[in-house]
Amino acid sequence: MRVLIADDQALIRVGFRLVLEAEPDFVVVGEAGDGREAVAVASALRPDVVLMDVRMPVLDGIAATASIVRELPETRVLVLTTFDLDEYAFGALEAGASGFLLKDVQRAELTAAIRAVHRGDTPLSPRITRLLVNRLAAQPAPASVPDHTGTLTDRERDVFLAMGRGLTNAEIAQQLFLSESTVKTHVGRVLAKLGARDRIHAVILAHRLHLVGDQDPLPPAE
């Protein structure tokens, strides 16, 4: 798994590099000290995952994330932030990041999150997912959003709407009387048909299309 580390603090980059290079399935292909450099290095090296600090000079992590996601659709961005309620972190998710982590994340959490992002999952807790859902519900939707939901089967649509409400696979399985493995299969098909990079962007899409909203029940915050 090829990883690019973008952070304006050299010691942070060194620390993450040491952690990742100790794992047999990771290789750090490059580093960047600001957002503009991150975009350039990502374009040249095409990493699988970018660890992106949101607060950097020259070009911040939100703008850098948007550029990388637009130019390199196969590359996932995992945002690093100091506070889990940071406006920058939410902005980065809306710009295309696949998740975010606190900078003081434990080693096992960091490596697990990178692997999750790489396979298309979203390393966000139910609490953070709920906060994002609530935030999206309060915002005006863009004028035009591509709608490919007509390609979904009835069951896939049910799963998509449940994802949009922030439900986990286990909660969807319980609600729809399915096994978790069946739900996981449906989730994969939903993402592929809708062209969503990962689960969090399926959540965003559901709200942008006005398919879920304040009237829908949400899981309790943890």
- What would the pLDDT profile of 61-80 be if each residue is shown by its tens digit? 999 999 999 999 899 999 88
Backbone angles phi, psi at 153, to 5 degrees: -75, 170
The answer to whether the Cα torsion of 205, 210, 216, 222 is positive or negative is positive
Closest Cα partner for 47 from 75, 22, 5, 21? 75
Assess whether the region 2-123 and the region 143-208 belong to the same CATH fold: no
Res 123 pLDDT > 70: no
Q: Where in the chain does DSSP place strands (E)?
A: 2-6, 27-32, 49-53, 76-81, 99-102
Give me the pLDDT at residue 85, please: 59
Q: How confident is the model at residue 37 (pLDDT cuts 50, 70, 90)?
A: very high
Domain ranges of the chain: 2-123, 143-208
| Mean confidence (pLDDT) of the chain | 85
Q: How many helices (H) and strands (E) does the chain have?
A: 10, 5
Tell me the pTM.
0.75
Q: Lowest mean pLDDT of 45-54, 56-65, 134-143, name the range.
A: 134-143
CATH number assigned to the domain covering 2-123: 3.40.50.2300
The position carrying tokens 């020259």 is 58
What is d(CA 101, CA 104) in angstroms, rounded to the nearest whole number?
A: 8
Query: What's the CATH fold of domain 143-208?
Result: Arc Repressor Mutant, subunit A (1.10.10)
For residue 218, is pLDDT > 60?
no
Which comes out higher in pLDDT, residue 2 or 170? 2
> How many CA atoms lie less than 13 Å away from 92 in the CB half-sphere?
32
